[in-house]
A = this chain, B = another copy of it.
Amino acid sequence: MVEKTESNVSDKQKNFQVEKPGITVKKQEDFSEWYTQVVLKAELADYSSGKGFIVIRPNGYEIWENVKNFFDAEIKKTGHRNAYFPTLIPESLLKKEAEHFAGFVPEVFWVTKAGNNELSEPFAVRPTSETIIHDAMKRWIRSWRDLPLLLNVWNSVLRAEIKSTKPFIRTTEFLWQEGHTAHSSEQEAEKEVSEILDLYKRVAEELLAVPVLIGKKSDKEKFVGAVYTTTLESIMPDGRALQMGTSHHLGQNFSRPFEIRFLGEDGEMHYVWHTSWGISWRTLGALIMTHGDDKGLILPPTVAPVQLVIVPIVFSESSKANEVLSKCQEIKSQLQSSGFRVSLDSRENYTPGWKFNEWEMKGIPLRIEVGPRDISNKSVILVRRDSGKKESVPLEGLSQAVLTLLEEIQRSLWEKAKKLLEDKTKNASTFSELSEILDRDSGFVSTYWCGSRECEDQIKDKTGADIRVIPFGQPSDMSGLNCVLCNSKAKFFVYFAKAY
């Protein structure tokens, strides 16, 4: 019916319209193409003009808003406060911490002109805000009474990307939050780093149902300018690791060049201890890759902007149309007042079947079908997006049934993702085992490492894999354990993986 009215549409538009609306490849067969199709067809994001840039569309942004609202509320409970700092950072500021500058400069966008005037000093478009924020902290911190200073910013950062774009995963600009805190002692800063990492873990696991490994990065992989970086890493169905967020201990690496000192209770001047931490819309990439199936997106109920969609099973010509529609409205109000996020698809000109496909592709966790027969039975049909399982449920007690099902869906997605992580995690005691696993299945490979940069680099060269994480819980006794490459005494139990 849609095609019939399109006699005046250009050929290009016609092609678009008749294009199969669903996902045309299988997740197992072409994971990368499958991912791109889900992102575009579920209208989560779109490519934009300008290399590597994307637009996050409302369906995607609303998921991001849910991540944001959860995290924002949690950090506010512990005294963090939001602020906003400039997008443009004078070059001289970015240069103040040498290692930091060297690390970022290859990917910085430079503003050199305002209107028709050349600027005497170029501005960097923010690749991260440590420098501009520490510049301000220097003015704001005087005494121990001003500490801790716990700031957070919701913004975007830009890094010129040379590799190919992957929406949410690898883009020139991305949305994130960046936290920046200053403390009077090293211990307090380290506690902050670890508490934020724990909170990120809750975002990944409780909200997105994506299990993660946590620990430290190696010196090679840490944030430029940090003393150390902690990380959370998940594994995707194609066996590649995805870094979901990082929390850095900056020590006094920034407070010294920026001269951020405070008068201690001891009457002496001290440099502050800094942390910084960020989590980005990459989390959406992890969610899509982890839970989706051949029909499209699957959203965990906790983070789904719409948890239930009600579809009236009736054709608009039918005499029952009004009755069904008003029953649907009633169910919608009832479920909304129980606190669920509900949508009613009352569009005419679309068949129920067409609507089922659309909402399945868009990943809505639960569908409620309401037809004339259901009304006379005083029941509705509930269909789970994850399993496709249908059941008839009495209208009496519907809210409780919906709650139970949504919890089951959340748990079931979590269990499946947890099994994926387990299946994709193997152990290697020799280099040939390590490289064989990485060649065959990829995934995480746990093994031992001597701690030398040389071995780390060689393994990367030979296998394409990095040390993703050095778990906090290291074996208490390393005697008899050797580095997977050089065979010398092991210092760390680590996870290698190829990564996004």
Q: Which A residues contact B (CB, under 8 angstroms)? A: 5-9, 13, 16-17, 46, 48-50, 53-58, 61-62, 65, 81-90, 93, 105-116, 122-123, 125, 132, 135-136, 139-140, 142-143, 145, 151, 156, 158, 160, 172-173, 175, 263, 267-269, 349
Contacts and interface: CB of A to CB of B under 8 A. Distances in A.
A49 B158 CA distance: 19
Nearest to A265: B5
A58 B85 contact: no
A298 to B, nearest CB: 21
Of all A-B residue pairs in the complex, the 8 with the closest CB atoms, nearest first, are A58-B81, A114-B160, A110-B113, A53-B86, A106-B115, A56-B84, A109-B111, A112-B112
A115 B111 contact: no
Contacts of A106: 115-116
A475 to B, nearest CB: 42
State the main secondary structure of chain A at its contact with B.
mixed
A430 to B, nearest CB: 40
How many copies the complex holds: the figure is 2
Given A123-B109, A175-B84, A132 B48 contact: yes
Contact of A108 (B49, B58, B114, B151): B114
B84 A8 contact: no
A142 B13 contact: yes
Nearest to A133: B55
A87 B83 CA distance: 19
A158 to B, nearest CB: 6
Given A83-B57, A267-B7, A113 B109 contact: yes
B5 A158 contact: no
A84 B61 contact: yes
B62 A82 contact: yes
A173 B112 contact: no
Given A48-B85, A50-B90, A115-B160, 7 more contacts: A8-B267, A50-B86, A50-B89, A50-B123, A53-B86, A54-B86, A56-B83
